[in-house]
Structure 1
């Protein structure tokens, strides 16, 4: 069986395009930190925990070595939101040539959705995309940040990107095989 999937490609072309979200309410401590040690185990945990119920499947077959290779590339960064010490979500940045940074993955674990954490994490992570060159000597200054989302992602994803100042620059509609959501681990 196939389903129709719409994919939107969005971008910002200047740091001033970013419209920061309101921080989570006072009393809810949300900290965001960069995972500076490349850890395939932790990155796979984040990927499967966030994407398990929304059919993220493209990296499920990655070997440990493939995760190591990707995470070890200069300009790849993973920023993690923690609520009271518990991982709540992540944003993954992938520096590309000529000052382009892709937000390759972004999302929250299901228990943390709808709590104002997503907008805050997206704002923070997008700001880190804009200042990424300062952490990676020899990288070109960021001139464009882009991301894609699709109708299979969370129901608020596209609106969240737009509220943060991203603009749609392309849209694709395709028939794709319907994939059952695998959950955060096999058999879930």
Structure 2
């Protein structure tokens, strides 16, 4: 139990509130179509492709870092697992989105990663991609579709998930090593999150 009041975040650490969300049945999809010059494609990624899109979608702006701390073998084991499906949106010959659906738990699907690069934000592609995620998840024999986000991620994420039909199930406080201090990300990453140097 965390006592009421303020608690210092140690130097070299980053603190966040993690919100867990889920849906227990397929929701009615909100209107949304891909722009004409944007195409959905499924990807069987190699490490270079995955790390590039991961960085451009979430790491440099929003401090996504968990996958960047994995060894080559550990990351390859996840992204090539038959229970994991990865999609992107191609625009002007460049991949500009990451949708990762994880079906490795029986009866469930985790929306493991979801996001767009700045090239597609505001185009309507996010809504269309979420509709694709929901449709693909509930096309399987599942009873739970879940995701989590946190306070260092885009402030648009939580309201977007709620509008998409997810409901909040719990919140947690997480403190972890700051990936910028570890050298996993440059010090310029996540400029909205204070860097507390040790």
Please report the TM-score for the alignment, with normalisation by the length of structure 2: 0.76
Q: Does 2:53 align with 1:49?
A: no
RMSD of Structure 2 on Structure 1 (CA): 2.3
Question: Matches of 2:105 and 2:97 in 1, distance apart?
Answer: 27
Q: Does 2:122 align with 1:119?
A: no
Select the structure of larger CA radius of gyration: 2
In the other structure, the counterpart of 1:146 is 146
Q: Does 2:29 align with 1:19?
A: yes
Deviation at 1:178, TM superposition (A): 4.8
Question: Matches of 1:10 and 1:110 in 2, distance apart?
Answer: 25
Question: Matches of 2:73 and 2:14 in 1, distance apart?
Answer: 33
Question: Matches of 2:174 and 2:80 in 1, distance apart?
Answer: 33
Q: After superposition, where does 1:134-173 map in structure 2 within 5 Å?
A: 141-173=141-173
Please report the TM-score for the alignment, with normalisation by the length of structure 1: 0.80
Equivalent pair of 2:86/2:101 in contact (CA under 8 Å): yes
In structure 2, which of residues 9, 17, 20 is the aligned counterpart of residue 6 of structure 1? Answer: 17
Instruction: Provide the secondary structure at the position in 1 that maps to 2:63.
Output: coil
Question: Matches of 2:15 and 2:70 in 1, distance apart?
Answer: 26
Q: Structure 2 stretches of 5 or more lacking a match?
A: 1-10, 190-198
Aligned residues: 172
Question: Matches of 1:96 and 1:29 in 2, distance apart?
Answer: 33
Moved over 3 A (4+): 1-4, 174-181
Q: Structure 1 stretches of 5 or more lacking a match?
A: 134-140
Deviation at 1:110, TM superposition (A): 2.6
